[in-house]
């Protein structure tokens, strides 16, 4: 589902991407819990879509949520956190 969602983003099918990524999020949350890095990745991708659609407040909220999960899982100094900070700066 995540790969499908990302492919749809590339082709600018944001509605399709949101559907696929939202489904992936539900699956991940059910299997690994809401605070897993897989969930953070999906939430972050949903934030990127919102940013591309000009929904900056929504995008920032999603990206910050993903960042919070990643920090809890990896620590604030992990190099992956920089990706979330970059995405938040774009909002």
pLDDT digits (tens, 9 = 90+) for 16-47: 999 999 999 999 999 999 999 999 999 999 99
Mean pLDDT of 55-84: 96
Mean pLDDT of 61-87: 96
User: Residue 2 has what pLDDT?
Assistant: 64
User: Residue 8 has what pLDDT?
Assistant: 81
Measure the CA–CA gap between 6 and 31, rounded to whole angstroms. 21
User: Residue 63 has what pLDDT?
Assistant: 97
Give yes or no for residue 61 having a pLDDT over 70: yes
């Amino acid at each position: 589902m995540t790969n499908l969602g990302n492919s749809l983003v590339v082709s600018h099918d944001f509605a399709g991407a949101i559907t696929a990524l939202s489904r992936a999020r539900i699956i991940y949350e059910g299997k690994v819990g809401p605070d897993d890095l897989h969930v953070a990745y999906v939430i972050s991708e949903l934030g990127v879509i919102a940013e591309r659609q000009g929904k900056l407040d929504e995008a920032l909220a999603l990206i910050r949520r993903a960042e919070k999960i990643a920090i809890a899982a990896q620590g604030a100094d992990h190099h992956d956190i920089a990706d979330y900070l970059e995405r938040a700066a774009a909002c």
